[in-house]
Amino acid sequence: MVHKLQKDMLVSEFCGMRFDTPLVLLSGCVGFGEEYTRVKGFTNRDAGAVCLKGTTLEPRLGNPPHRVCETPQGMINAIGLQNPGARHVVDEILPTLDFDETRFIANISGSSIEEYAEVARIFDDSPIDAMEINISCPNVKEGGVAFGNDPDMSARVVEAVRAQTEKPLITKLSPNQTDIQENARRCIEAGTDAFAVINTLMGMAIDIEARAPIIGNNQGGLSGPAIKPVAVLKTHQVYQVCRDHGIPIIGQGGVTTADDAIEFLIAGASAVGVGTALFYDPLVCKKINDGIVAYLERHELTEVAQLVGTLVLNG
Amino acid sequence: MPKAPGRAHDATDTDNPPTVTDTMPNKRPHRDTIHVENARILERAEHPGDQVILRVHAPQMAASAEPGQFAHIQCDPDLPLRRPISILRVDARAGWADFLFKVLGTGTRRLAERRVDDLLSILGPIGKPFEARMTHRRPLLIGGGVGMPPMVFLADRLREIKGAYEPFVIMGSEVPFPFEARPSQIVVPGMPEGVIAAMPLLDDWGIASRLASQQGYPGTFEGYVTDLARAWLDALDEEQRKEVAVFACGPHPMLEAVAALAREYRLPCQVSLEEFMACGVGGCAGCVVEVQTPKGPAMKRVCVDGPVFEASAVFPAA
Ligand SMILES: Cc1cc2nc3c(=O)[nH]c(=O)nc-3n(C[C@H](O)[C@H](O)[C@H](O)COP(=O)(O)OP(=O)(O)OC[C@H]3O[C@@H](n4cnc5c(N)ncnc54)[C@H](O)[C@@H]3O)c2cc1C
Ligand SMILES: Cc1cc2nc3c(=O)[nH]c(=O)nc-3n(C[C@H](O)[C@H](O)[C@H](O)COP(=O)(O)O)c2cc1C
Ligand code: FES
């Protein structure tokens, strides 16, 4: 067996980008890239990539409070895409990030196809490493998941963004739809380079004393361990479509441990997202990376890629 | 004096864009300011009204905590989302920190079940602290219910600058106070007849304090903290009143009343706010409150843009 340094075992290539680890910090959980560096012991270097908060053309104030609450094995959020607008992100925030530490991915949103395209055009002329198209945000009235639930609309958004940029394009799919495989097929035809699977599931939590929803927006996106089995299945399903096209997936939804991450890799993900788990433990990435290395060694594998899509279905 | 800890650029801030120069790669003062510690519970005391005081060993947090900051605490591993709790006191040399909390729901109930020698995962210190300025040497500290802790911490810091400040602390509670009140040794101007009960810790520090409640506890002012504050302010002369700055933490209606009082007397006023939180470090924008800025309304994160805000930005004049 070739002997590799442990940290090299975690390195992979994703759409032509070098990921130092298979972990991707998820959009909406780490602000615009610097927030978690407040925590001693945390470093963006523990992640292969960091997805920035969903960004629209104009600034958005987002939804009224409360925006988050804990639910069994997870949480509901309805932030409503609060962001300072694409121009501000490119002009004021990107220059403050350290691109030596990790790859930074923009998460682009819009309420019309034109808006998605315009945001993509702004990011195309920036040092950003890649773009993730968020056609699955459940928390805004217009756009978002409305595009993601309809394969035709999804494909049109991807096509419009593709026309604006040569940078790697990742399409983020919603679990709140009937046929995720058909949607994936159409997005591949439209030119996506990769997928992120899945965004949050829609949910509600009720304050029984007030008989009102806890979340200001009434409903929100459910994330965390509660959604993991759904996310693993969807990753497996999308992988069936992607495999022959060589299109990689960032599997995500409820990952908190190395075992969770390995499940996603086996199901077909080439990289694994970590979102809600950071709220539980800001230093979780190091632990997941160490666990993945230990697993690879135990199974006499030398790199993460050897694990991707190795699922053996039962008879 | 308490100074603001390093802040990351406020990426969700649309009215106050960060400048490139103060966040250059070699100049990121916000980094490494919050610690994750597995803190052992050293002492635990129960008080009436479902109130608990915990002392934990958290030396890294204790070394840099400032009044107004909080810790984001995992109440129980089965309930992994953390709960924000203000820092009551720290001893940087001994490495401990105290918290006072009241059981409200599942999280705080689980926290109340934790025992001495248990380990608590603590993230802190977090947030923008209260900022006292020498120009206002008569700070008025008002704490309501579980809003008392930051006021004790602030009083502790103010006394360290010997003779520089002459603070007056008013604590309000509708459940029994989480300490044994006793008659004060310190004379306070304007106090109504019989309002003599004080917080012993503060009295021992030589800091004037009085208590307010609707419950008619002995020696306590029967009424609102703001009414007692007004009595004190009215007993000061014009020059003395100009030296007053107000600091408050407590339930929202109390803060609103305090802000109105400060506006009426034209006093600077800082308030500490609460909102549901997820990350606690500025990453999720889950904890925002609406504040007024010169450019219109903005949504600010309680965890890192606060929890302390200028009262005038949160409660603008009607
Ligand atoms: C900066 C800050 C400092 C605080 N300091 C103290 C303190 O020193 N002592 C103390 O007793 N309490 C304090 N609180 C309030 C405390 O965080 C809540 O009482 C606690 O989160 C309630 O959790 P629970 O699970 O028991 O209640 P539940 O009602 O079951 O909570 C459900 C959800 O709502 C959230 N939530 C409910 N009420 C509040 C609230 N008032 N503030 C924030 N989140 C809330 C919880 O975090 C949880 O996610 C502080 C809050 C903030 C924001
Ligand atoms: C507070 C919060 C905000 C989020 N904001 C966004 C967003 O702006 N854009 C997006 O594509 N996904 C957003 N998401 C979804 C996450 O990126 C991720 O897909 C989802 O939370 C599942 O992963 P997890 O269970 O590991 O958190 C958000 C999730 C959370 C919890
Ligand atoms: S709790 Fe996440 S930004 Fe404040």
Tens of pLDDT, residue by residue over A208-236, are 999 999 999 999 999 999 999 999 999 99
Report pLDDT for B35: 98
Q: Closest Cα to atom 4, ligand 1: which residue? A: B85
Report pLDDT for A138: 62
Report pLDDT for A143: 57
Contact A51, A24 (CB under 8 A): yes
Contact A117, A156 (CB under 8 A): no
Query: Mutate which of A223, A279, A285 to disrupt the B interface (most B C-beta within 10 Å)?
Result: A279
Q: Does residue B152 register a pLDDT over 60?
A: yes
Rounded Cα gap, residues A151 and B103, in angstroms = 48
Query: Mutate which of B64, B76, B299, B300 to disrupt the A interface (most A C-beta within 10 Å)?
Result: B299
Distance (Å) from CA A217 to ligand 1 centroid? 20
Q: Does residue B25 register a pLDDT over 70?
A: no
Average pLDDT, chain A: 95
Tens of pLDDT, residue by residue over B138-148, are 999 999 999 99
**What average pLDDT score do residues A248-258 get?**
98
pLDDT range class, residue A46, cuts 50, 70, 90: very high
Provide, rounded to the nearest whole percent, the portion of chain B with pLDDT above 90. 88
**Whether the predicted interface score ipTM is above 0.90:** yes
**What average pLDDT score do residues A23-31 get?**
98
> A-chain residues within 8 Å CB-CB of B82?
279-280
Q: What is the dihedral of CA A290, A291, A297, A300, to 10 degrees?
A: -140
- Report the predicted TM-score, pTM, of the whole model to 2 decimal places: 0.94
Average pLDDT, chain B: 91
- Identify any residues that bridge with B143 across adjacent strands, giving them in sequence order: B171, B249
Q: Does residue B21 register a pLDDT over 60?
A: no
Q: Which residue of B has its CA nearest to A44?
A: B31
- Fold assignment, A4-306: TIM Barrel (3.20.20)
**What average pLDDT score do residues A105-114 get?**
94
Tens of pLDDT, residue by residue over A262-311, are 999 999 999 999 999 999 999 999 999 999 999 999 999 999 999 999 99
Q: Does residue A136 register a pLDDT over 80?
A: no
CB contact under 8 A, B11 and A35: yes
- Identify any residues that bridge with B297 across adjacent strands, giving them in sequence order: B292
Report pLDDT for A244: 94
**What average pLDDT score do residues A128-153 get?**
79
Contact B110, B155 (CB under 8 A): no
- Catalytic positions of A: 137
Query: Is the CB of A98 inside 8 Å of chain B's CB atoms?
Result: yes
- B260 to chain A nearest CA, in Å? 23
Tens of pLDDT, residue by residue over A161-175, are 999 999 999 999 999
Other CB atoms within a 10 A radius of the CB of residue A40 amount to 16
